[in-house]
Chains A and B, each alone.
Chain A
Amino acid sequence: MSTEIDQPDELATHAAEVAAPDVIAGSLGEYVRIWWTRVKGGESGALPVVAGLIVIVIYFQIKNSNFLSAGNMVNLMGQAGWIIMLGMAEVFVLLLGEIDLSIGYSSVMGAAITLWMVSPAEHLPWWLAVLAGLAVPTLFSGIQGVIITWLRLPSFVVTLAGLLAGTGLLITVINSLGGPSSGGSIRLYSSVISDIEGGSMSPLAGWIVMIAAVILSGVAFVVRDSRRRASNLAAPPTSITALKIAVIAVAGVVVVLLSNTNRGRTTVLEGVPWVVVVMLVVLVAYSVLLSRTRFGRYIYAIGGNAEAARRSGINLSRIRVLAFALCGLTAGMMGIIYASFLGSASSDVNGGQNVLYAVAAAVIGGTSLFGGRGRMLGAVLGGLIVAVIYNGLGLLGLGAPAQDIWTALVLLAAVTVDTLARRRQPDHT
């Protein structure tokens, strides 16, 4: 590299090529140029994923005009909900350079316990049942995290064992809780839980929540930028911030408009599904956790260079175990959403495949399998892509074989981009 510290102009040029455009660019044109340099280096942010998503959506809409109908879009949100949630669970461990294969089964195990607790026979309050359903996968992944950290075993193998154990445990749990007559599944009786996927906000509430969310995020952006300017630090150009807020507003309006269209055939069915709100709240909470707290910073540091993190006095074991527990907790949420989607918790669930979709969602959304790179928003966008492929191919009358093959091809493309980007990074050994 030719950069020299005592040649500031050259260094600034070099910096502009690699740093986040947000903090370097002074104008819109400069911003776009820096952003494009970063895309070529694999640090692209959300835009290419969004672009890919739009291309796929246009393709399906051309093939079948029902694709963008309100009914199908809301259907898609329901399908995407559980994939996105499981994808967000994987982000916590993928950022460390680890993986958790067990959550496909442990999530449903938790949901089975939740559904059993709210069943007419037990009749426990739904919130207690949800807590129990979240605690089980949290513990399950947390314990595996302890084994991985203390015994220094590879997470792939430990959680593969967890996947196998989870398969057996799920059958045992469902058979012993549901009884011999259950047929391997526990039905969902709680209306609160079934409303996550099945219920919707009133159209007016949908607008109010959407507008409040857009205003809050807009204020957050503007306040951050003006604080940076007040402290004499570089801030993104105003036009870019305005553009970001506009994109969020447009996305919000589209979702609410689609959801508020009557999609019922016999009765009126309208409003934003609750699962969208749940997803949004979790996304914001996790994004703040990863980008604004020490815990989040340490996850990235460990994923980037564990030895550097250790020498900086970070307690690696604690962060790793916590990340696995958070992965399990998020999987628990997915289990309940999944049960809400299916109306039951069944031992027939293909937890192995579900977890692979989750990893695919995270990686398609830009999370590196090597650790240290990725965002929660990526898992949401990646999960949407997986769900769109499923939904769209299904609408074209193509079944599971085509769905699996196309998901595989998209995943392969995403991993290729990740690996090539990594290879292009300069070597400092």
Chain B
Amino acid sequence: MTVPDAGTPVEPQQSLLRLAGIGKNFGPVRALYNIDLDIPAGQVTAILGDNGAGKSTLIKCVSGIWQPDHGEIYWHGEQVRLHTPRDAAALGIATVYQDLALADNLDIVQNMFLGVERTKRWQLDEIGMEIAAKQTLSDLSVVTVRSIRQPVGSLSGGQRQAVAVAKAVMRDAQLVILDEPTAALGVTQTHVVLDLIERLSGQGIAVIVISHNLNDVMSVADRIAVLYLGTLAAVGPKDQFDAQSVVDLMTTGATQRQGASSEH
């Protein structure tokens, strides 16, 4: 078994998104230090870490909310600068935050097309949008057809998550970042969302899942990256980790267990 080294990118030529030496400081606080990470297409990468490990800071750098102080971001092998969330969205990076950002008074179709409505002459093309929304949702195997015009406020937590993800997919996202997608959900709803994540990666979309729920991550992730106090403690395919080694890495930044990578 090879032990992946946190310092060298894995298969750089195949990765959709590549972070090289990313660092971010808030005044004297070092939120991120020298993060090297590759996000391959069609795979689910879980980013794990305790509170304050830098998970949120890292995804905010990728989604254009904050600019890293050090390091480079490569998209399809080309260096990019993400000044605003709009820059990230234009590349095909969609972030689904915990609060989902859905308008409860609008229906599913209206939410999925919010801000990118189709029009015929000057009128909204409701029929075209409804057909496209139906197609996207059935590709993701969510939400029965008859309910597509119901207000989002009446949906369950898992369904809302599904609509938020579908909204991202609708905008031709190549990388979908999910921030704690299962944190507010019960057991069955969590299952729904995990299925959805697998279907996303099955369509060739790269998925980053931020979570501190180990069970969810272990069941859905292809690759795992563990952050500890702003540094990348370990990264590699899921089968190189087990629950105990991940907990060790999250809490101490290192593990003695065999098969898992240790800090550099």
- Minimal beta-carbon separation of A422 from chain B (angstroms): 10
Given A15-B144, A293-B122, A428-B160, check contact A4 B192 (CB 8 Å): yes
B147–A428 contact, CB under 8 A? no
Chain B interface, number of residues (Cβ within 8 angstroms): 45
A231–B127 contact, CB under 8 A? yes
Cβ-defined partner of B149 (8 Å) among A5, A8, A20 = A20
Q: How far is the CA of A413 from the CA of B107 in the complex (A)?
A: 28
A19 interface residue (CB < 8 Å to B): yes
User: Of A68-76, A125-133, A205-213, A311-319, which binds chain B?
Assistant: A311-319
The 4 closest A-B pairs by CB, nearest first: A15-B147, A312-B115, A19-B150, A304-B103
User: Of B13-21, B151-159, B236-244, which binds chain A?
Assistant: B151-159
Given A231-B127, A297-B110, A307-B101, check contact A12 B159 (CB 8 Å): no
A136 interface residue (CB < 8 Å to B): no
A426–B154 contact, CB under 8 A? yes
Q: How far is the CA of A14 from the CA of B153 in the complex (A)?
A: 12
Quick one: closest A residue to B134, CB to CB? Answer: A233
Given A12-B147, A233-B130, A312-B114, check contact A372 B105 (CB 8 Å): yes
* B contact patch SS: mixed
A233–B124 contact, CB under 8 A? no
Between A and B, 5 residue pairs with Cβ closer than 8 Å are A11-B159, A24-B150, A228-B127, A293-B124, A300-B106
- Minimal beta-carbon separation of A94 from chain B (angstroms): 13
B114–A5 contact, CB under 8 A? no
A152 interface residue (CB < 8 Å to B): no
Q: Which of B152-204 contact A (CB under 8 A)?
A: 153-160, 162, 184, 188, 192, 195
A15–B103 contact, CB under 8 A? no
B30 interface residue (CB < 8 Å to A): no
- Minimal beta-carbon separation of B59 from chain A (angstroms): 14
- What residues of chain B have their CB less than 8 Å away from a CB belonging to chain A? 85-86, 89, 99, 101-107, 110-111, 114-117, 119, 122-124, 127, 130-131, 142-144, 146-147, 149-151, 153-160, 162, 184, 188, 192, 195
Q: How far is the CA of A145 from the CA of B20 in the complex (A)?
A: 46
Cβ-defined partner of A294 (8 Å) among B111, B124, B147 = B124
Cβ-defined partner of B151 (8 Å) among A11, A19, A307 = A19
Q: Which of A221-252 contact B (CB under 8 A)?
A: 227-228, 231, 233-234
